[in-house]
A = this chain, B = another copy of it.
């Protein structure tokens, strides 16, 4: 996929493309320069459910005022029996925008509320059925440990991280998107603020030549327009954008070290700008406990700010360095865990569900690579192993790669995107196919108290993963005593083969169910094997 400079950087044109994502009926938004100030822009008349509907408004130029601070703006959308207040934002050049992703089809009206009278307007929009491929936002399956799209389609998370990919040159971004189009990943963790050398580095308006010479009250619209274009490109590929609001890797610019009022404004701006993209997730911070200028109380304060600013109620998580954030807090939708040892067996992974009582994603379990630091020189086998343990444990995992010729993590996939040079990605594509062929919304570790190391859905589907062990046989003892028949498959998770292994017809025993005629399954005596039983 080739991205031209124009389509990425030209603000209005890019937005027009964005508004059309998954929306066959939305015309491109007229370029603001064609609209006289103080006159409302003609808004599009239709949008599809879960699409992005944007109201563009032109306000007066007002001398020394700061519209980012001085202007209040929100639209109340009414339709389908709901009234939803959607905050707007200032996009520079006298242009204000309100973005709404309608949760239901039907006729909706909207009315702008603002302290700037020329912005007060109203209108209506017809929300049509979603087009093919638009499954809505990813949500947590209620009361459970798995995800699904809003239309009920399964979503099995296979994540990756490229912190500052969206901030690289257009050519590099195009390369990253091309790589992603051929990779299994359906979630990308990405920082808002840069952490490695980047083509764009100014989310705020600069006030002087020094690294800290920037004005936290004045956003740089071009920076955010560019970033949200990358979100839209991910959406075109069916990839969720796990937008990371803060990180601890930048003491030079200090974007994560703002004061509370500035943090609140920033969080609200991000929510208003990005929240209507249906593939957005919120990761409040990467390694939150590494941000030395913020306390736990600060984070606990900012989450409700984000919730209040986000009528789309996107997924919310917090990624740790050394101290797990409490995923049971009410504003957290799923645990985002960094711990390379945590996915080293099925039960360790599963224990995190016991902790969180929510879905668990091991976001960054170490990076496949060739750098000297321990965290960045995992083998493809080690990364793949962690994904498999996570899967069998009823949890999810995230990939990262530091492999590059320079042995430099900053310029690797992890830092800047580009190409993947490791060996795990194809194996994760193979795993994704195994997941997609399995039960929806996902599987659970069975009998975790008893170290059974088998995941599945009882009486339907079982999968046992042997990891580094290389047994030549396994006792096929299934937990449920029901006399079912199962088709068995040997899965070589590294060589990516599936070999049928006949059927097992179970009979009740003291410890579960076993086929009296065939109590064991033969295995090839090599590592990275799994065995799968699917009820016939």
Contact = CB atoms under 8 A, between A and B. Distances in A.
A290 to B, nearest CB: 14
Contacts of A328: 326, 328
Interface residues of A, number: 22
A448 interface: yes
B347 A451 contact: no
Contact of A449 (B326, B339, B345, B450): B339
Interface string A293-336: 00000000000000000000000000000011010100000000
A340 B447 CA distance: 11
Contact of A340 (B326, B345, B450): B450
Interface string A345-378: 1011001101101000000000000000010000
B374 A341 contact: no
B342 A351 contact: yes
A344 B347 contact: yes
A455 B67 CA distance: 57
Contacts of A448: 339, 341
Interface string A415-451: 0000000000000000000000000000000001111
Interface in A487-508: none
A324 B352 CA distance: 11
Given A341-B347, A347-B341, A355 B324 contact: yes
Contacts of A348: 345, 347-348, 351
A326 to B, nearest CB: 5
B351 A451 contact: no
Nearest to A353: B324
A323 B145 CA distance: 14
A449 to B, nearest CB: 5
Interface in A98-124: none
A476 to B, nearest CB: 19
B340 A449 contact: yes
Nearest to A372: B510
A353 B298 CA distance: 23
A153 to B, nearest CB: 29
Contacts of A450: 340-341, 374
Contact of A357 (B323, B344, B357): B323
Interface of A: 323-324, 326, 328, 339-342, 344-345, 347-348, 351-352, 354-355, 357, 374, 448-451
16 contacts: A323-B354, A324-B354, A324-B357, A339-B448, A340-B449, A341-B448, A341-B449, A342-B351, A344-B451, A347-B348, A348-B348, A348-B351, A351-B351, A351-B352, A355-B355, A374-B450
